[in-house]
Structure formats: C-alpha cells, structure tokens
C-alpha cells in the first residue's frame, strides 16, 4: 500500500473515533452531569431563573441537537465561551499553550536525552552493580507521588534555600527561563524512573538477539555493537514512546502550573474544575484527543520510515 493511501485511511478512521469521543463527552457532560443551572444559582434559584439559564446555555433543546453541537465543536474547533470568564475558549487555549510548552518542552527534551543515555549506559553494564543500582533508583523514583515532589521541591529549593523563583511567570524569551527552571528540574526527577526503566527494557530486548551475538563473534567492539546495531534496532519502540508523549506536552502540568503560578493549560484545567466550567473541560478533552490521534498516526508513519520491514495495514 502506498503511504499516502495509508495516511488517508487512518485519517478517515479518525472520524468514527472522534464521533465516539464526542459521544463520551456528551454523555458525561449533558446526561450524567448535575444541572449546570443549579451549579450556577446554588440552592436558591427559582424555576424561572433555572429555565432562563438552561435556555441561554441551549440545554432546553432536544438531546440530539446538543450532541450535534458537541460534534460541530470538534470539527470546527469553535468551543464557544467559558462560563466562568466569558472568554473565547480557543483564544484561552492559544494563550495558555505557550506557557505550558515553555515547561513541558525543555522537560521533555532533558528527560528523554537523560533517560536514553542512562539506559544505554546500564544496558552496556547489564547485570553489573551499576545496572542494578540504577534500576532500583528508577523503581524507587517511580514510587514517589509527584505531588509530594512538587510541594517539597518548591518549599525546599524555592522557599527554604531560595535558589530559584518560588512562583510567577513572565512571557517572552528569555524572560520565562528563571521561572521554569525549578518545575522542569522537579519533573525531570518525577519522569526519570519510568522513562529510564522503559528505555532500558527496550534496549535489553535487542541485546539478547542473535545478530548481536553474530556481531560480537566477528570481533566488533561493544561500543560499535551498542551504538551501531542495538540502538538502531531499538529505535522503533523508542520513537513510539517519544512521539506518543508529544500530545501530552500541550496539556501542561496540573500540579506544577498551579503551584508555580504559570498561566498554562494545566492551570486552566484546574481552574475550570474549581469553577465548574463545563465548556473548558469539554474543549480540552476533545482537543487533546484530536492531538493524540494525529500523533498516533504520525508514530505509525514513522515506523515505516525507520523500519522498511514494517508493512502498512
């Protein structure tokens, strides 16, 4: 199959899935959720007030019309206005994306490079003391709740030692840098365990393959084997892991953005939950799933570029 046909077919399959995503969001927010009029008015709303609000929000129309509204918003990316701030939601997302990316971007780069390098190192010394030590450290790191790391780290490095900005944000390069160093550093610590363990596993998968034994028996050095053969062959799972993380970068970091007062999308989601801002949560759920699907397709296309044996199905 031609690669363009493949991409086209995958994009086409996005439609039923996106309709499904809209259905889940619709069922949750329009059927299961408590009446937004009651949330807005509290316990003292009159029947007329409730009807008024339901009319303003379009909740008095037939359910299928409301579902079509959700679908329409997913395809046009017009999510309406926030109930809390009356801002246009797409504008809010555009505003929040950059601050979020200014932490998640560097974090992603540093974490990925660090854990792949470390994984290569311990795979090189597999079974030795350093391998067991790093593995133990990774599992220990995975077991610490990230909220505890953020709270303790902010207090210790930001407040107690005063090494970094404790909170706040300035937009523009390079003004934002002092504000993101600490959150990035803390999240590198949070991510390091799971990432290193994952990359170590995929690299070790290759180390025991027959072709490695062949390479060794023809006298290649361990370094050449490691970088030229093993790393190249473990690129498929590594690439998948890397690409699949990208859509999450846009979601920002719930804890870090809230505690470090960074006006990103993570903080926006937390605010929306606290203010019962239905449309913002709906918009973020739909938008992030679109990103997720697109990057899923990208991963599969990347496969075929890295590994010609891969067949398009």
Partner 1 sequence: MMTSTTKQSNSLFKNAILKILSDKISLIALIIVGIYFLVALLTSVGLIASSWNIPVTTSYAPPSAEFWFGADIFGRSVFTRVVKATETAVMLGVVVAIISIVIGTTLGMLAGYFGGWVDELVVWFYTTFASIPGIMMLVSIAFILGKGTTTVFLSLGLTSWVGLCRIVRGEVMKHKDREYVQAANAIGASTPRKLIKHILPNISHLLIINFTQTFDSAIKAEVVLSFLGLSVVGRPSWGTMIDDAKLELARGVWWQLGAATLAMFIIVLAFNVLGDALRDALDPKLKGK
DSSP code at position 33: S
Q: Are 50 and 38 in contact (CB under 8 A)?
A: yes
Nearer to partner 1, 250 or 302 (CB): 250
Judged by CB under 8 A, which of 201, 209, 221, 261 binds partner 1? 201
Q: Which of 140, 177, 224, 310 binds partner 1 (CB under 8 A)?
A: 140
Cα–Cα nearest to 30, from 65, 71, 59, 61: 59
The CA distance from 291 to 244, in Å, is 10
Nearer to partner 1, 116 or 254 (CB): 254
Among residues 229 and 282, whose Cβ is nearest to partner 1? 282
Nearest to 183 by CA among 94, 239, 267, 95: 267
| Contact status, residue 135 vs residue 200, Cβ threshold 8 Å | yes
Determine contact, residues 301/245, Cβ cutoff 8 Å: no
Query: How many amino acids of this chain bind partner 1 (CB under 8 A)?
Result: 51
Contact residues for 248 (Cβ-Cβ < 8 A; gap 6+): 104
Residue 37 interacting with partner 1 (CB under 8 A): no
Token pair belonging to 244: 């699949």
State the nearest-atom distance from the C-beta of 290 to partner 1, in Å: 8
Return the number of the residue (224 or 273) whose C-beta is nearest partner 1.
Answer: 273
Q: Does 28 bind partner 1 (CB under 8 A)?
A: yes
Q: Which of residues 273-292 bind partner 1 (CB under 8 A)?
A: 273-274, 276, 281-282, 284-285, 288-289, 292
Chain centroid, CA 103 distance in Å: 12
- Span interacting with partner 1, options 52-60, 61-69, 92-100, 150-158, rule CB under 8 A: 150-158
Q: Which of 155, 163, 211, 227 binds partner 1 (CB under 8 A)?
A: 155
Residue 209 binds partner 1 (CB under 8 A) = no
Find all residues with CB under 8 Å of 301, minimum gap 6, and list them.
Answer: 3, 6, 7
Q: Are 245 and 230 in contact (CB under 8 A)?
A: no
Residues that bind partner 1 (CB under 8 A): 16-18, 20-21, 23-25, 28-29, 32-34, 139-140, 142-148, 151-152, 155, 159, 201, 204-205, 208, 247-248, 251, 254-255, 258-259, 269-270, 273-274, 276, 281-282, 284-285, 288-289, 292-293, 296
């Amino acid at each position: 199959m031609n690669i363009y046909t493949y991409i086209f077919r995958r994009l086409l399959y996005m439609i039923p899935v996106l309709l499904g995503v809209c259905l889940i969001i619709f069922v949750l927010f329009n059927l299961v959720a408590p009446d937004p009029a009651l949330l807005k008015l509290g316990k003292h709303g009159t029947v007329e007030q409730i009807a008024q609000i339901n009319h303003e929000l379009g909740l008095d129309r037939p359910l299928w019309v409301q579902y079509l509204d959700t679908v329409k918003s997913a395809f046009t990316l017009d999510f309406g206005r926030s109930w809390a701030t009356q801002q246009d939601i797409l504008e809010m997302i555009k505003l929040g994306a950059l601050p979020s990316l200014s932490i998640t971007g560097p974090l992603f780069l540093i974490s990925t490079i660090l854990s792949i390098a470390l994984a290569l190192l311990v795979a090189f010394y597999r079974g030795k003391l350093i391998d067991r030590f790093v593995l133990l450290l990774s599992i220990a790191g995975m077991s610490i709740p990230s909220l505890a790391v953020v709270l303790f780290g902010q207090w210790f490095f930001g407040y107690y030692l005063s090494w970094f900005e404790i909170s706040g944000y300035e937009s523009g390069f390079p003004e934002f840098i002092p504000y993101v160093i600490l959150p990035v550093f803390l999240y590198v610590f949070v991510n390091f365990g799971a990432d290193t363990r994952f990359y170590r596993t995929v690299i070790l998968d290759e180390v025991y393959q027959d072709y490695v034994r062949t390479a060794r028996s023809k006298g290649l050095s361990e370094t050449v084997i490691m970088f030229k053969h093993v790393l190249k062959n473990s690129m498929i799972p590594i690439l998948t892991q890397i690409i699949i993380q990208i859509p999450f970068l846009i979601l920002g970091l719930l804890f870090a953005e809230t505690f470090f007062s960074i006006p990103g999308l993570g903080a926006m989601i937390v605010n929306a939950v606290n203010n019962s801002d239905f449309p913002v949560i709906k918009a973020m759920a739909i938008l992030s799933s679109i990103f997720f699907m697109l990057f899923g397709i990208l991963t599969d296309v990347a496969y075929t570029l890295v590994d010609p044996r891969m067949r398009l199905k």
